[in-house]
Structure 1
Amino acid sequence: MVRYEIAIILKSLPRDQLKNAFRTAATTILNEGALLRQIQYLGHRKLPYRMVAHKAPFDEGSYLVCNIEAGPHMVKTIMDTLKKTKTVIRASMVKI
């Protein structure tokens, strides 16, 4: 297993919907067989520039960072699933 860090920008949502979005992101990672080591919520912020996701523009978002351990074959599946999730504006992964 290799360690990765996933940075996720979520839509600006009310608190209860934001919890569900966190849960969905964590479940996506765990369903692929990866180990979720840490989740950090970095807060709600204005985006550095307007981003378009799922044919809608966004100016604000909630930032989330996850540290995981996963096999190299799991990475593409995890990222594809996260990017298709309607609450995710942007997701990126780096190997650490």
Structure 2
Amino acid sequence: MPGYEMSLILRAMEKPQLVGAVKRALTFVIENGGIVRKLESMGEKNLPYRMRAHQENFTKGHYFVVDFEAAPSLLGLLGNFQHRDIDVIKQGVKRREDPPAPPCPGPYSDLYTGASKVNKTMLRPKKKKGAVKWPNVDKMD
């Protein structure tokens, strides 16, 4: 299952109602075969601009980031479910980027890991009086 990152902005509420809203969002993912890896609360903040959701205007909200894995078919259902939830001001889901794979071992692998630094002067052309001469370049006839 691919990994996803969901950002949620929930309306400013008391803690018991906030816990209930977060549980609703996470329970939907779990009940539909997803795995929640991490939940991170970013706290209550002023919104960058006035947002309108469910016929109300909002200027403050609780920010959450949820790391989860799920089937791609779940994303449409999740978006629809979050859109209908009256406590959610805004939500977004994006695919989590996996870290790049390490390079294959070989004679030049130290160049990619940064173990040894390449001398930058080796890559520059040799300068002689007046003209620039590139190394290992023959004259073309």
Q: TM-score, structure 1 length as denominator?
A: 0.96
Q: CA RMSD in A?
A: 0.7
- Note the residue ranges of structure 1 that are not aligned, 5 or more in a row: none
Greater relative contact order (Cα 8 A, min sep 6): structure 1 or 2?
A: 1
**What is the identity percentage for the equivalent residue pairs of Structure 1 and Structure 2?**
30
Q: Give every structure 1 segment of 4 or more consecutive aligned residues whose post-TM-superposition deviation is greater than 3 Å.
A: none
Indicate the residue corresponding to 1:34 in structure 2.
34
Q: TM-score, structure 2 length as denominator?
A: 0.66
Looking at structure 1, the residues matched to 15 and 36 of structure 2 have their Cα atoms a distance apart, in angstroms, of: 22
Indicate the residue corresponding to 2:82 in structure 1.
82
Compare CA radii of gyration and give the structure with the larger one.
Answer: 2
- Note the residue ranges of structure 2 that are not aligned, 5 or more in a row: 97-141
Q: Give the number of aligned pairs.
A: 96
* Aligned positions of 1:1-96 closer than 5 A: 1-96=1-96
Q: Which structure: greater strand fraction?
A: 1
Indicate the residue corresponding to 2:103 in structure 1.
none
Looking at structure 2, the residues matched to 30 and 89 of structure 1 have their Cα atoms a distance apart, in angstroms, of: 21
